[in-house]
A = this chain, B = another copy of it.
């Protein structure tokens, strides 16, 4: 035992040495934020976690999330320590041709979720733990290291409330309370008692330990294994820069290599390594229990039958979303829905009604909703659909953005978009959601305009890599596609035309503005004005070819109509596509240009100029009639 502790101490010292060396070689990074973690990482990687060090993606492995992603160098040092790659590779930290980046990303096989935007790791870890306990029903445990500075993020408390509500006793959250933030001491500094009270009040079993004492850490992890029906919070008192003489616990050492001090610190650390460091080499990670198998879900999801609507039926796209989710959920038990207490509005409740075990209520905490969904989807264990009002996904933009960095395949569905929701008023109206999801690199943005296409959007999203967003609406809309119509990403539909040479102008909409455009087409037809109406189906990618062809055939004029802010939505997407196409064009746009008021949906789409009458007026003006 004593030899083992010495060995673990040596590991901790080596992790410190490598954190100093690698950041020194990089000329940037956070060695002091690593140093406070050295004993914790040593114990975790060599005495607590069960995993195959040569197979980091093994589904039976324990999971590890470094929520304080800026301590990446010590994570990399730990994986080198267990033999995944040679120590020399650590000196390529932060280089453009090396995936040991400034903050961890899944370009590395041992990283499941990107971290670096603080306070998100626990939600991801909670998602993994939820899947481990309730879906995989496997032995793996989940460990998450959180900084004290980042515990000011509310998302941390959302995640703890979630974890205790769902009794995630396979989850251990390690708080590295090193007292110092980036620019000054943290709010609570070394007030460990308050951390204990807060985490206990949020339902954790909390243990305060000296985070630099290997024996205390070993004991705490061993107690953690005995705790049932609660997540465990290890509140570790540590010092930033621990082990670095003259630097430990001092201000102004955040996020910088040791520079002129490095030599002295390395000499000090090397002197601490026991002369005969053979014991350390006997340490090896504990083997996992092989009780979780590989899955290949992506690409396998199909609606069991064509959508069950008739042309002209009045169905809200949010209802079709719920129907489709329930239908694919019945064909695949790894399709799951996550809700933020809006399930009876988004209709994700449809899946819960038929498959309650594939449904996770996350309550009114959208950051955690998204973080948990990303965690549930990590390593491809599930196909998650997170839904709430479109407006409330803005609450989780940072999590969604980080999801893209995490290479998530998570799907998001936002209902209650635009002024067409009616009386609830602007706080509930999704007016920026298209802009938000379009800006996510690699995303796909579906905006179905009837129930049939909404069901197909769900099916396609389930099989499309990257962040997928489905924009659904509150009001009923007529079904405009036959059940057999086929849809694909980036392919729009001409839903009204009088023929290639007979249309006077192209109108592009989405959701309810397609319904309005079709009404406008009827009105205009009585005056011998023909409009071509295009339903892009996906706003990103936008069907450039279909648009360019239409514009050429309709006097180079396009009208866009959207229940969204003027910037970032359909108008921008159409302008962007045409501007790059080389086709001569003028785009006139209708959208919501001022903060809307409460009112009836029909009154509001009229007041803000996106209804059939407004389209008729704009078309006539554009055609000079």
**Chain A interface residues (CB < 8 Å from chain B):** 26-29, 69, 94-96, 99, 101-103, 105, 107, 114-119, 149-150, 152-158, 161, 165, 181-184, 186-187, 194, 197-198, 200-202, 339, 341-345, 349, 361, 363-368, 391-392, 394-395, 397-398, 401-402, 404-405, 407, 422-428, 431-432, 435-436, 438-442, 540, 565, 567-569, 571-576, 578-582, 584-589, 592-595, 597-600, 603-604, 607
Contacting residue for A575 out of B438, B575, B588, B592, CB 8 A: B575
Q: Is the CB of B576 within 8 A of A571?
A: yes
Chain B residues within 8 Å of A441, by CB: 431, 565, 592-595
Chain B residues within 8 Å of A26, by CB: 423
Q: Is the CB of A117 within 8 A of B607?
A: no
Q: Is the CB of A342 within 8 A of B182?
A: yes
Contacting residue for A198 out of B201, B571, B582, B584, CB 8 A: B201
- Name which residue of chain B comes closest to A400, CB basis: B394
- State whether A365 and B153 are in contact (beta carbons under 8 Å apart), knowing that A96-B597, A183-B349 are contacts in the complex: yes
A426 and B403 CA atoms in complex are apart in Å by 11
A sample of 12 inter-chain contacts (CB < 8 A) reads: A96-B599, A105-B425, A117-B427, A152-B363, A154-B365, A183-B342, A183-B345, A186-B363, A394-B398, A395-B398, A397-B436, A575-B580
5 smallest beta-carbon distances between A and B, as pairs:
A154-B154, A116-B427, A96-B599, A435-B439, A575-B579
A592 and B154 CA atoms in complex are apart in Å by 30
Chain B residues within 8 Å of A599, by CB: 94-96
Chain B residues within 8 Å of A425, by CB: 94, 101-103, 105, 116
Q: How many subunits of this chain does the assembly comprise?
A: 2
Q: Is the CB of A181 within 8 A of B565?
A: no
Q: Is the CB of B187 within 8 A of A427?
A: no
Q: Is the CB of A427 within 8 A of B402?
A: yes
Q: Is the CB of B149 within 8 A of A154?
A: no
The minimal Cβ–Cβ distance linking A368 to chain B, given in whole angstroms, is 7
Chain B residues within 8 Å of A423, by CB: 26-29, 94, 102
Most central of A115, A197, A198 by chain B CB within 10 Å = A198
Chain B residues within 8 Å of A198, by CB: 198, 201-202
Known pairs A153-B154, A183-B344, A576-B576 / 14 extra A-B pairs, C-beta < 8 Å? A29-B423, A102-B598, A103-B427, A116-B428, A119-B364, A149-B363, A181-B363, A183-B345, A184-B361, A439-B568, A440-B565, A441-B592, A575-B579, A581-B586
- Name which residue of chain B comes closest to A339, CB basis: B183
Chain B residues within 8 Å of A431, by CB: 401, 439, 441
- State whether A101 and B598 are in contact (beta carbons under 8 Å apart), knowing that A202-B198, A364-B150, A398-B394 are contacts in the complex: yes
Contacting residue for A600 out of B96, B343, B604, CB 8 A: B96
Q: Is the CB of B426 within 8 A of A105?
A: yes
The minimal Cβ–Cβ distance linking A600 to chain B, given in whole angstroms, is 7
Contacting residue for A114 out of B94, B105, B426, CB 8 A: B426
Q: Is the CB of A158 within 8 A of B165?
A: no
Contacting residue for A117 out of B197, B341, B391, B587, CB 8 A: B391
The minimal Cβ–Cβ distance linking A109 to chain B, given in whole angstroms, is 16
Q: Is the CB of B103 within 8 A of A69?
A: no
Contacting residue for A364 out of B107, B118, B587, B592, CB 8 A: B118
A580 and B424 CA atoms in complex are apart in Å by 32
The minimal Cβ–Cβ distance linking A125 to chain B, given in whole angstroms, is 16
